[in-house]
Chain A
Amino acid sequence: MPDVLIADDSEFMRNLLREILEEDHQIVGEVENGVEAVEVFKEETPDLVMMDIVMPIRDGIEATDEIKSNNPDANVIMCTSVGQEEKMKEAVKAGADGYITKPFQKPSVIEAIEDVVPS
């Protein structure tokens, strides 16, 4: 069962992702900003990070950049409402492995995870 870290400033969205994932994944942490995401990643080294982009204190692209710089094998899927091409290119540059735009439904989340972390 893959370990997953959820990074999203929205409690509503963290709950939604947890409900989608907890059946087949181990949720090792839920954080509200990019700083916490980097810290918890160091502690838990999860198999996958579901990373929002727009978060307070530090955004998800900066956090992804740091995580991937220190852990090139880390798997990060951007899970965001932002559907801008330039932002997607920034995410690729930071090392993101996948990109899901909100609102999403369970099958698209599972499919994106399967692409990045095949079961």
Chain B
Amino acid sequence: MNVDIQSLGTFNQLAHEGAEEATRSMAQMTGIDAVVDVTKITLLNRDDVGEELTGREFVGVQFALDGVLEGDTVLVFDADSAGAIADALVPGDSADEAMARSGVKEIGNIMMSGFIDGWADYVGATIDHSPPEYIEKSGADVLPDAPTDADHQQVFVFKSQIEWIGESVNFYIYMLPEYEPLAELMMEQADTEDDAIPIDKLQTFNEMTTKGTQQAADNVEMMTGIPTDAEVTQISFAPITDVPKQVGTETYVGTVVEFTGTPSGYLMVLFDEASAVTVAEAMMPIEMEGDELTDQHTAAIEELGNIMTSGFVDGWANVLQTSVEHTPPRVVHDMGRAIVDPLAAQVGQHQEHAFIIESEMKTDDIEFESEILALPNEKELREALEALDVERANETQADVEQIFE
């Protein structure tokens, strides 16, 4: 089963326009000035859906979809913002909980109708949705269960983030379609075979990347003694302009390499500043004074980034029976988006959209989080997927002793 880049781009555009329509509806009803910050399509393990919402309380509305697109969609926002939003919705009555809930349901209904109608118009068919159901839950529980499918452990999720300008309030739209109807819809919309991506191989590639992330996490643990686990691995598809927004605005320390081969692209290993200090000091034989980032910390991060990069990409090379070269790591210390922006610009010289391979690793005991982001060249990733022998997907490790016998 194939999907072409063009239809992925179109579907992303549909989700983005739907989110913009929803935002316009909200502005008309409430006067809230908001913009769609980012829209992306993500392929990830069913159990990892909504991981980024962990530790936060949400309220919102949920709808079931039926027709050419089946599944569920939600519009949610932080529970802490509920008062401000209710005030904007029902001025003077926000203290009336029933009225506030009713207002949230109605605005959700109107916003999401705009979101869904755009899809129906594009495919020229009907997509029905259920009446809005008010939801109030924690973390990923606020999302509907990802569609179950015995044949596919991974699911496509459409995510849009809407930012209330001037307020630290974000709205999130998640659409979790059933796999088969979505795949059929994508195939119907595909109008060229030239840039087709085999979906099953994309899933296999995602699984290989999960193994690469675990290898990178094992390398961190071996170098630092900090027990580290791979958390989430996903492949997202987004316009180039949205790529820098995948990373937060906080300051990161890490490494950037350019890799060449099939595929080529850029790979970043990023730590927040506190994690960078923690992990670098765990690698050092002597205890450092103060909590500032020194040249010694940076040298340790440079080598760790190098080793994590290799752990991440070697599996691709071994499965594909090729070599993926990478440059020596360049240390970066800047705002996340400032690190990613020039790399996205480089990749954007050849393509309008990008696949973003994202991995996270963390540990429970010590303050430590790390992200790995890869931006492969779209054409070469497609060639790599074409060459991918699914039967070899587990052959991520090379046997040194056998080769040097």
Which A residues fall within an 8 A CB radius of B? 9-13, 19, 54-56, 80-90, 92, 96, 98-99, 101-103, 105
Contact = CB atoms under 8 A, between A and B. Distances in A.
A10 B403 contact: no
Nearest to B285: A19
A86 B222 contact: no
Interface string B32-63: 00000000000000000000000000000000
B189 interface: no
Contacts of B306: 10, 54, 81, 102
Contacts of B219: 81, 102-103
Given A101-B310, A102-B303, 11 more contacts: A9-B328, A10-B306, A12-B300, A12-B302, A54-B306, A82-B314, A83-B397, A84-B318, A85-B317, A85-B321, A102-B219
A44 B222 CA distance: 33
How many chain B residues sit at the interface, stated as a range, is 20 to 34
A80 B321 CA distance: 19
Interface in B277-311: 283, 285, 299-300, 302-303, 306-307, 309-311
A9 B285 CA distance: 20
13 contacts: A12-B302, A13-B303, A83-B318, A84-B314, A84-B324, A85-B398, A85-B403, A86-B322, A86-B323, A87-B317, A88-B400, A88-B404, A101-B400
A92 B310 contact: no
Interface string B376-405: 000000000000000000000111100110
B326 interface: yes
B327 interface: yes
Contacts of A99: 400, 403-404
A101 B310 CA distance: 10
Interface string B161-172: 000000000000
Given A81-B309, A103-B219, A103-B223, A88 B403 contact: yes
State the 9 A-B residue pairs at the shortest beta-carbon distance, nearest first.
A81-B310, A85-B398, A86-B323, A84-B317, A83-B314, A12-B303, A12-B299, A81-B307, A10-B303
Contact of B404 (A9, A83, A92): A92
A73 B323 CA distance: 28
Interface string B143-161: 0000000000000000000
Contacts of B318: 83-85
Contact of B311 (A12, A54, A81, A87): A81
Contacts of A19: 285
A95 B325 CA distance: 20
A87 B261 CA distance: 12
A86 B191 CA distance: 37
A54 B309 CA distance: 12
A11 B299 CA distance: 7
A34 to B, nearest CB: 12
Contacts of B310: 80-83, 101-102
Given A12-B302, A103-B222, A105-B222, A90 B309 contact: no
Nearest to B317: A84
A13 B305 CA distance: 12
Contacts of B398: 83-85, 88
Nearest to B309: A81
A55 B326 CA distance: 10
Nearest to B220: A103
B379 to A, nearest CB: 21
Contacts of B326: 54
A55 B328 CA distance: 6
Interface centre among B223, B323, B404 (most CB of A within 10 A): B404
A114 B2 CA distance: 52
Nearest to B327: A54
